[in-house]
Amino acid sequence: MDYQKLTEVMRKLALEAGDKIMEIYNSDSFEVKVKSDESPVTEADEAADALISAGLRAAFPDVLLVTEEQADSHCQRADTFLIVDPLDGTKEFVHRRGDFTVNIAYVENGVPTRGVVYAPARNRMFYTLADGAAVEETGALAKDQIGETTPIRVSDADNSALLVVASKSHRDQATDDYINKYSVADSKSAGSSLKFCLVATGEADIYPRVGRTMEWDTAAGHAVLHGAGGKVVRFDDHSPLTYGKADYANPFFIAYAPSVELKEA
């Protein structure tokens, strides 16, 4: 894989998809449908998916593409593949809360090694460079030219005063019970894969997820966090979270800075 080309293509497609999403987000109204699994889908999901899929297939025709909005892609398997959630945090989008992202990732041998997470309503963009290091790009976010980037790195956590981030739409008693095992200085909620990015930048130390997610929800954020020195492990046995699973469904997991002293489930 040409990692430089991959970075440039993923970044540009994320920005283009973000423009399409925001055009719909800022309209007077948009249609919300319900998929077979009871999750919502909007015309923004579908438009962003079409744009990203076409761009990735043109640039990398020999790489398997798995995307949330194309069910036939969920039946295909490979050790190395591209995986996309064109609009992660649809509930945040529908309720106009802003915490939604465009997620594009590249998985190699079960590990997300490259990815981009773009939050168009927050004007925040995180991605991996060709060498795998994670950055946040600031400024105008021009599509044809990478702007100023700032390297990001996980925190050196204070285990007596941890900063926790948890799901905004899916927080429950099981999540709170686990968080209560730690000495917490501050706990915040965020939507979509932004939670991974908050750990990657050191704005949070740990993100536990005690709830259902799919690989397209997490791969891009996982890649960014990995590039910033963070880890993502299974909730039950603290083994690494892997990708390319039979149904692309994740077990519960914990994303964290390695300086955090993990508690047992």
Report d(CA 257, CA 158) in Å as an integer.
11
**Cβ pair 217, 223 in contact under 8 A:** no
What backbone torsions phi and psi does residue 78 show, to the nearest 5 degrees? -160, 160
On whether 132 is known to bind a ligand per the annotation, the reply is no
On whether 89 is known to bind a ligand per the annotation, the reply is yes
Report d(CA 156, CA 154) in Å as an integer.
7
On whether 90 is known to bind a ligand per the annotation, the reply is yes
Residue 21 CB neighbour total at 10 angstroms: 26
Residue 78 CB neighbour total at 10 angstroms: 12
On whether 45 is known to bind a ligand per the annotation, the reply is no
C-alpha distance from residue 8 to each of 14, 136, 179, 214 (Å): 10, 14, 38, 25
On whether 92 is known to bind a ligand per the annotation, the reply is no
On whether 227 is known to bind a ligand per the annotation, the reply is no
On whether 202 is known to bind a ligand per the annotation, the reply is no
Which amino acids are annotated as binding site, given as ranges? 68, 85, 87-90, 217
Task: Tell me the binding residues for Mg(2+).
Answer: 68, 85, 87-88, 217
| Residue positions forming the annotated binding site for substrate | 68, 87-90, 217
